[in-house]
Structure 1
Amino acid sequence: MTVEETPETVAQALQHALVGEDLPDSFTLLGREWSLHRGVFPSTLSAATEVLASIVPYPSGGSFLEVGCGTGVISVTAALTGCTSVTALDINDKAVANTAANAERHGVSDRMRVLHSDMYAGLDPSDRFDVIFWNVPWTYVEDDFSLSTDLHSAVFDPGYRGQARYLAGAPEHLSDGGRLLLGTADLGDRERLDAIAAQSGMRVELLHRVRRIEEVRVMEYHLLELHAK
């Protein structure tokens, strides 16, 4: 099931994250304290980060890549959970700095690298990972929607072009037997995602469905895995 959310509603929350003077410079999540830089999507604005960080199958002893790392909660959790090598990417340079700060805060900088990157562009061609994950911007908007702020790319994916690039580029960076994962919600357009996956020669499997009561409604978060057909 897909639930619709207007871009206007999302934009109001983003505007607050950009200029809200009442926002703290840290937050508590998963029993840990995290730094929050202004201009980075707050990981507590919804339960998505908490839910997905708790159910992602981190490859203990392996390598983990997160696209769109934001504050770095999931990447740092991967390192704390036993991944020996974690790479975190974000197109927002403020998020890169925020993730690096949280890696240092939790003592995992030695096994993490944080890169400013548009999708996979910042990686070396030889980079391979046991798990690739992206908590995608699931709010669907049309192709001509203007991403006018750094935070827009955290929640809007016009025409799901970003997700198409994510799927198309992932095979080049997956290790043998590696897993390609995607976090989304019932606000996402699942039919469109399935069609994009099919174009890339993949099928979508629902691994987990988690329902959370939030301020306005019950949200349903999905962890998906992409498989070659």
Structure 2
Amino acid sequence: MTHTSGEVVETMTVEESPETVAQVLQHALVGEDLPDSFTLLGQEWSLHRGVFPSTLSAATEVLASMVPYPKGGSLLEVGCGTGVISVTAALEGCASVTALDINEKAVANTAANIERHGVGDRVRVLHSDMYEALEPTDRFDAIFWNVPWTYVEDGFPLSTDLHSAVFDPGYQGQSRYIAGAHAHLTDGGRLLIGTADLGDRARLDSIAEKAGMRVDMLDRVRRIEEVRVMEYHLLELHAK
């Protein structure tokens, strides 16, 4: 159960096998049928091989439409992938956007889409493991991550660059995301997570609890996908 606007809302967690996800990753790496561009949110976007395609699920489209972009302010996106959300943030009125990704191919892909949409004066992209590439003084009005929600145990091998886009062993990445965010938020800044009903919400709540925070549901959207109905969640973390 979770709370939103004073109401109790039931959420569900659905399990997805790592083997199923790995098949999708293999296609993204070597699938000869993948194009070098795609259409999303009424815009054309470049797609580089070795970057998780933003159209394999509705996650990017849905979450890009849900994020409360701080218009006139600054946004940090962790795990930017193709750069759709970071570029959209600039197009929606953010004055400054920083995009981070651990996958160098994703950094190049985001850079291509920054150029494609003419937002280089407002968006920068950095190769970074979580917050490592940031300066200690960097502060943002909102920090967002469309997290790799598929839970696997510690020690699960991330055998390709794309594995870190969908697998978070032991939710260590999300633990680091929550723990390190405070140092890069402005006063009153918002810490946001995009996830889905495939995520382990109880585990995420436990991580937040240990960090002295609570997780609130801001919004959720159901989409009919190829094999099931997916429910995407936009969460916000608050200090207790």
TM-score, normalised on structure 2? 0.95
Q: In the alignment, which residue of structure 1 is the partner of 2:64?
A: 53
**Could you tell me which amino acid in structure 2 is paired with residue 215 of structure 1?**
E
**Which residue is equivalent to 1:215?**
226
**What's 1:191 paired with?**
202
Q: Where in structure 1 do 4 or more consecutive aligned residues deviate above 6 Å? A: none
SS in 1 for 2:121: helix
In the TM superposition, what whole-angstrom CA distance separates every residue of 1:206-227 from its partner, at most 9, and x where no partner exists?
Answer: 0001000000000000000000
Q: Secondary structure at the match of 1:113?
A: strand
Alignment equivalent of 1:112, drawn from 111, 120, 123: 123
Superposed displacement of residue 110, structure 1:
1.0
Report the secondary structure of 1:13's partner residue: helix
Pair 1:172 & 2:183 matched: yes
After superposition, the C-alpha distances for 1:129-180 in whole angstroms (9 at most, x for unaligned) are 0000000000000001000100000000000000000000000000010000
For 1:144 and 1:100, locate their aligned partners in 2 and report how far apart those are by CA, in whole Å.
32
Q: Which amino acid aligns with 1:216?
A: V
Residues in 2 aligned to 1:23 and 1:61: alpha-carbon distance in whole angstroms: 36
**Structure 1 residues 90-147: Cα deviation after superposition (integer angstroms, max 9, x where no partner):** 0000000000100100010111110000000000000000000000000000001000
What is the alpha-carbon distance in structure 1 between the residues aligned to residue 182 and residue 102 of structure 2? 20
Using the size of structure 1 for normalisation, the TM-score is 1.00
Unaligned runs of 5+ in 1: none
Which of residues 67, 71, 77 is equivalent to 1:66?
Answer: 77
Q: Which runs of 5+ in 2 are unaligned?
A: 1-11
Note if 1:84 corresponds to 2:95.
yes
Aligned-partner Cα distance in 2 for 1:103–1:126: 24
| Structure-1 separation of matches of 2:209 and 2:175 | 10
* Bigger helix fraction: 1
Q: Helix, strand or coil: the match of 1:12?
A: helix
Question: What's the secondary structure of 1:87's corresponding residue?
Answer: strand
- In 2, distance between residues paired with 1:200 and 1:74? 27
C-alpha RMSD of matched pairs (Å): 0.3
- Corresponding letter in the other structure for 1:27: F
